[in-house]
Structure formats: structure tokens, C-alpha cells
Amino acid sequence: MKQSGTIIPEVTQVKQPALEPAKLSVGGKAIDLQVTIGTEQEKAIDITRLRDSTGAITLDPGLGNTGSCTSSITFLDGERGILRYRGIPIEQLAESATYLETSYLLIYGVLPTRRQLEQFTTTLMGRTALPQGMERFFDLLPKTAHPMAVLSSMVQLLSGYYPELTNPNPTAQQIDEVILTLLATFPTLAAYGYRKGRGEPVVPPRKDLTYTSNYLYMMFGPQGGKPNPDEVLVQALRQILILHADHEQNCSTSTVRLVGSSRASAFAAISAGIGALWGPLHGGANQAVIEMLEEIHRSGADFSKVLAKAKDKNSGFRLMGFGHRVYKNFDPRSRILKAACDKVLVRLGIQDPLLDLAKQLEEAALKDDYFLSRKLYPNVDFYSGIILRALGIPTEQFTVIFALGRLAGWLAHWREMLLSPEFRIGRPRQIYVGPTEQKYIPISQRD
């Protein structure tokens, strides 16, 4: 957000001096490959010249060993359970920051000064209303549409009202504008989709509320005769949004980068990111965890059966909310959310049997060698749904809340990519294993 007197550091590509080169021999041809080391001592073998030098590519289905970029936004260490946004531990931000403050930090790389945050917040909260005439499109959507389908569609539609913000080569000013526009209207799109999906009138946004409070207000309107949402609910949701705000190159953020790398607009990239997040292996897991816990509750909480099914490769069932591509120890977010569950439920005077179930299931799984040997621990989705239920958020909206939080990270990565000297369109290779050349047989000669 370029403001007079505001120094916003552009993305800096911090590359440490290279280590000893990696030596590779392919088909008897030996080559040296540069090894770069990041600021947290992560090492990467630079293979940008590999195919030219050896004719070979690397193969890494699921990309678990492949870095797609360098980034200064988020650092996570799966072995030590570390998660930092621009170097600041997630625990400190979850404890003390606002979501917009965290968004500014992720996107612009610095904690805003008091004045910068006030200006960012005031400007943004003044732009939460949808463009004139857009609301009617919600009435045309099938009531059976999943909230993530609605959100993804409406983000694309939003670009129709801001054609100037779909410029493939946006100026710094346009980048700031599209960031403000999406951050401001995303909660409104989400809340309108919820209300319209239930056939209820929308509750227009209020400029005088905080970002998080305004979302709850648009979702549920004034509650219990009080004009503003309960502060306990607001603080719980603030923490959830911050914990979900970024997570480096996860599936949906990588999707945003890949779509943005074709110079499609941020609206198109974010809409695609919403689609990727929807999947039950990714952000959709928070909904799937609650549905799993409800099923266990209904069927009498036989954990041994649930764990047996999760361990049976043929069952097609996984213990939702467990396991992670990167965290091979605890997910720091899950620890914070587990503690928050107890606090929020007590503050709200809620007894949720699913919380006790979740804790017992975690305990049972972490005694089972199948999970321990595969380093499968609760991830961010395992406890988040318990809190969202306590806030009165319906289960099918859970992944929308994940998207609300992750929007800041998606925008930060989109901006970093566009400004990076590494910028180029993403286009992975493949190894072809299909039929070798064969002739076309005319239909007259085929049975």
C-alpha cells in the first residue's frame, strides 16, 4: 500500500553463497550443479540447466522434493514444528496481532506502523461493499452449490467490475489496488453466499467494525439484541484467520502462483486457489474432520474400528486432520487450536462431545505404531472445526473460513512472484510412457 512516506521494501531475493557443487553423472556424463542455501540453511540443488547439460529431467510426483521458487514470506520447519511469517513466530502473531496487521506483514514484508495500519484498515473497511448490481447474481446460483464453488465463481465475476485490475502487467499501484479490493470484498462475498444460500436477506457490511467482527456481523447480523458480535467469538476467529493466513508452497498457494505465472489476473489466480483448497486432502479436511467425528459419535465412538479403517489401504478412508506433507512432528497451529478449543468452549459455556472425541482419537492414534512410524500427527484441520462449530459456523462453511484466512498468503505470493527477478511462466516437464509411434487406422478398417 504505497502511502506518502511509507517505505515498503520490495521483495528481496536473499540468496546465500553457494555450497560445494553437487556432482551428478548421467549416462557417463558428469556435471556439477550449483547448491544454494537459504537464510534458514535449507539447501537446494539448482537444476535450471540440467536438461541442457544432460538431456535428463528430474521426476518427483507430488513435488515433495522439488522447490518451485525462492520466497521470503513464510518459513516452516516440519521437523521442529516451526512456522514464521516474515520471521515472526506464528504463536506471537496469533496471540497479539490483528488479521489485517498480519496480512500487511505477509504481503509487504514489514509490520505496519500504527499510522500505516490505521490507513490500511480504514481504506480497506471503506471498500467492503460489493459493486452495484453484483448481489443479484447470488440469486441465480443453485442452492445446492457448495460455498467454495460460490466463492470461487464470485471472485472471477468480481473481476468484471474492475477490468482495469486485470491488467497482465499491473503497475505497483494496480497491484496494491487489487490486493485491497480482494481483501475488502472477500468476507462480503463469503457472507452473502452463506445468507443467500439459506434464502436469507444479506446483512450489508459495516465500516465501524473490525475486519473479523464485520464478517461475523454479515454472517449472523445483530445477535441477542447486541449490535456487535461477541468479542469472544471475534477473538477466536481472529486467531483462526491468522493461523490459516499462509503456509508457503502448499497446494492452493502453488496453484495461485502457477495461474498467476501466465499473467492471468489475481482474480483468476485466487479463484483457482479456492478450487484447490476445496479438496478434502487440503483445506476441505476441516469439514471432513467434523463429518468424521460426527459419524464416530453417531456410531458409538469405537476408535479401534476407525483407526483400523484408516490403516487399511483398501478402505479409501483416511484419518482426516492427521498427517502432513511437511510437518513430521507436531503442526504448531494444531497445538494452538487445541488449546483455544478448551478456552473458547469454556468462555461460551459449550460442552461439545466432539472435542472429547477428538482428543481421545488423537491419543489413540499417537499410541499406534502405524501413525507414529509414518510421523502422522494432527494438522491444522484437526481441531479448527471444533472452534468453528462453537462460533456457530455451519460445517459446509468451514473451508470458506480457511480461504478467508489464506487470502492474505495467496495475495502475498502472487505479488512476490510478479515482482521477482525469477518470474517466468510455470510449465513442468513429464516423462512420456504412452505408446510409441503407430499408424492411424481408418474407421472403415476398424470393427
Residue 168 dihedral angles phi and psi, to the nearest 5°: -60, -25
CA 376 vs CA 326, 327, 410, 439: distances in Å = 10, 8, 26, 49
By DSSP bridging, strand 88-89 and strand 74-77 are unpaired
Looking at the Cβ atoms of 197 and 409, the one nearer to ligand SDX is 409
Looking at the Cβ atoms of 162 and 317, the one nearer to ligand SDX is 317
Q: What is the CA radius of gyration of the chain?
A: 24
Looking at the Cβ atoms of 196 and 238, the one nearer to ligand SDX is 238
**Nearest position to ligand SDX, beta carbon:** 323
User: Shortest gap between Cβ of 414 and ligand SDX (angstroms)?
Assistant: 15
User: Shortest gap between Cβ of 128 and ligand SDX (angstroms)?
Assistant: 25
Q: What is the layout of strands, in order, in the sheet containing 29-37?
A: 19-26, 29-37, 43-45
Distance, CA of 67 to CA of 248 (rounded, Å): 11
User: Shortest gap between Cβ of 367 and ligand SDX (angstroms)?
Assistant: 15
C-alpha cell at 239: 486467531
User: Shortest gap between Cβ of 397 and ligand SDX (angstroms)?
Assistant: 17
Asked if residue 368 lies in contact with residue 205, where contact means CB atoms within 8 angstroms, the answer is no
Q: Which residues are the active-site residues?
A: 324, 381
User: Shortest gap between Cβ of 330 and ligand SDX (angstroms)?
Assistant: 12
Look up residue 228 and give its amino acid: N
User: Shortest gap between Cβ of 326 and ligand SDX (angstroms)?
Assistant: 6
Looking at the Cβ atoms of 282 and 347, the one nearer to ligand SDX is 282
Between CA 215 and CA 219, with CA 216 as vertex, the angle to 5 degrees is 90
Looking at the Cβ atoms of 175 and 336, the one nearer to ligand SDX is 336
Looking at the Cβ atoms of 258 and 380, the one nearer to ligand SDX is 380
Distance, CA of 71 to CA of 89 (rounded, Å): 17
C-alpha cell at 285: 479436511
Q: Which residues bind ligand SDX (CB under 6 A)?
A: 62, 247, 250, 281-283, 285, 310, 318-326, 374, 376, 379-381
Looking at the Cβ atoms of 40 and 208, the one nearer to ligand SDX is 40
User: Shortest gap between Cβ of 220 and ligand SDX (angstroms)?
Assistant: 26
